[in-house]
Amino acid sequence: MYAVASSRLHPQMIPIKSEASGATRKFEVNCSGCNLRELCLPQGLPAEHMQRFENVVYASRRVRRGETLFHAGDEFSSIYAVRSGFLKTTVIDGDGREQVTGFHMGGELLGMDGIGDGRYNGNAVALEDCEVCVLPFSLLEEFGREVPAMQRHLHVVLSREIVRDHGIMMLLGSMRAEERLAAFLLNLSRRFTARGYSPSDFHLRMTREEIGSYLGLKLETVSRLFSKFQDDGLIEVQQKHVRIRDIPGLHGLMGN
């Protein structure tokens, strides 16, 4: 019925030059044919502008598991749209402590933290082999000046990122460990569902430690909670594979 969420390259990429076989290569994009078009930046863009948008998408870039798409401090010039794969973003403070700020899947945008002062503020690391679309920000801005719908949508995307962050602040500031993990699982479920995967059956790409960092918990706490949720019949866990058995039950955990 549902495919278990897994990493597959989507077949929109059409290389122009075979010599450009490095990490980044120019290519003809086909946003209109991309199965992520309803989730990605061109979402809702009238057909007449779609072709123009495809010229903004400058290149694709392949990032292998463990590799970094951009580092904090790198010069900013583009934002990235995830075409396939799964990444985390992190920030590091003066003392070297790392905080995971998000996990990102197909159709989601990365790098918007770099617009502010011309350098990325955080890091983006692939948790599995990824393919991302490179969107040079100056081209996006130019496009936005010409097409109000594009401009508005860019603002919408930036604003939603702010709203997303406020949700995480709520989670970190006001919820107990159990609620945080339930919220996390439900959030993943929702996002997988939007991409056509099973709402209840998925493979976690991140470690317990990364989940813990994201949720403001230690990895042992995350592990114990997974076990507890399993004992309570809410989920089944086996290493990185999770099956949610009781979505209403997880919802019920929040707010008690």
The tokens for 102 are: 């998000």
Neighbours of 65 (CB within 10 A): 15
Q: Quick check: helix, strand or coil at residue 250?
A: helix
Stretch (H or E) spanning 253: helix 247-253
CB of residue 111 vs a second copy: minimum separation in angstroms? 10
Stretch (H or E) spanning 63: strand 59-63
Residue 72 near residue 122 (C-beta atoms within 8 A):
yes
Which residues have CB under 8 Å from 84's CB, separation 6+?
7, 8, 9, 10, 106, 130, 131
The rounded distance, in Å, linking the Cα atoms of 251 and 190 is 12
Find the DSSP H helices in 26-115: 47-56
21 or 174, CB closer to DNA? 174
147 or 177, CB closer to DNA? 177
Residue 23 near residue 61 (C-beta atoms within 8 A):
yes
* Given 24, 139, 187, 216, the residue binding a second copy (CB under 8 A): 216
105 or 183, CB closer to a second copy? 183
CB of residue 94 vs a second copy: minimum separation in angstroms? 6
* Given 84, 121, 123, 189, the residue binding a second copy (CB under 8 A): 121
Neighbours of 206 (CB within 10 A): 18
Please identify, among the stretches 46-54, 116-124, 191-199, 226-234, the one whose residues bind a second copy according to the rule CB under 8 A.
116-124
Nearest to 27 by CA among 129, 130, 131: 131
Question: What does 122 interact with, of a second copy, DNA, none (CB < 5 to 8 A by kind)?
Answer: a second copy
- Which residues in the 153-192 window bind a second copy by CB under 8 A? 154-163, 165-170, 172-175
- What spatial distance separates the first Cα and last Cα of the chain, rounded to whole Å? 34
CB of residue 59 vs a second copy: minimum separation in angstroms? 21
* Given 39, 57, 112, 127, the residue binding a second copy (CB under 8 A): 112
Site of interaction with DNA (CB under 7 A): 65, 176-178, 204, 207-209, 212, 216-224, 226-227, 237-240
Residue 135 near residue 56 (C-beta atoms within 8 A):
yes
* Given 8, 71, 145, 241, the residue binding a second copy (CB under 8 A): 145
Q: Does 75 bind a second copy (CB under 8 A)?
A: no
Q: Does 97 bind a second copy (CB under 8 A)?
A: yes
* Given 122, 133, 211, 242, the residue binding a second copy (CB under 8 A): 122
Task: Write out the residues near a second copy by the rule CB under 8 A.
Answer: 91, 93-95, 97-101, 112-117, 121-122, 137, 141, 144-146, 148, 151-152, 154-163, 165-170, 172-175, 213-216, 254-255
